[in-house]
Amino acid sequence: MESDRELIELANKGDSDAFEALYWRYRDWVYRLAWRFTGNRADALDVLQETFIYLLGKFPEFDLTASMTTFLYPVVRHISITIRNKTSQFASEEKVLEESGAPKSEENNHNRSELAAVLIVLPDEQREVLLMRFVDDMSLQEIAAALDIPLGTVKSRLHNALHTLRSDRRTRDYFLE
């Protein structure tokens, strides 16, 4: 299996199969992220399409200087916000948790709704960093690069979000183990 950089090098030379491989590798990730920002399937699919049209436009001179998710995150975010503002629809945090891939069970539904209730009261910047770290599994450095903010800002936003979650009686149990 070729690395992202190898696929980009091939795509820069006009290899459409290499671009297609990048599409299939990141399609689901882009969709989940877009859904988190837009809150609905149709808009998330539009964001998916627009994101890969944007990426295609970067070739044949594309130079990846970070991980592909670090490159794609601000693109997906910007396109999602633009589309969301056009449709004036906002994602509920409970739906975000459902799409995050967390296992579904009757017993988890109550805990997940409490977690969603706490997540919704976090400031947008803290919630975004928290989800990037734990849902998207991005490193702190990748988050800083994707949001174009200092690493210390990422750390403080994450720290403050976790502090809020640890302090709230509805989510305290997540931190006991």
Q: What is the pLDDT of residue 120?
A: 83
User: CA nearest 96: which of 125, 137, 127?
Assistant: 127
Give the Cα separation of 56 and 19 in Å (integer).
8
Task: Give the E-state strand segments of the chain in sequence order.
Answer: none
Residue 29, token pair as written in the block: 């990730």
Tens of pLDDT, residue by residue over 146-173, are: 999 999 999 999 999 999 988 888 877 7
Please enumerate in sequence order all residues whose Cβ is within 8 A of that of 26, keeping only pairs 6 or more positions apart, or say none. 68, 69, 72
Length of the chain: 177
pLDDT higher than threshold 50 for residue 94: no
Taking the alpha carbons at both ends of the chain, their separation in whole angstroms is 38
CB 45 within 8 A of CB 31: yes
Tens of pLDDT, residue by residue over 101-135, are: 444 455 555 566 777 777 888 899 999 999 999 88
How many helices and strands, by DSSP H and E, does the chain display?
9, 0
Tens of pLDDT, residue by residue over 2-59, are: 999 999 999 999 999 999 999 999 999 999 999 999 888 999 999 999 999 999 999 9
Q: What is the pLDDT of residue 103?
A: 47
Give the Cα separation of 162 and 172 in Å (integer).
10
pTM for the complete prediction? 0.72
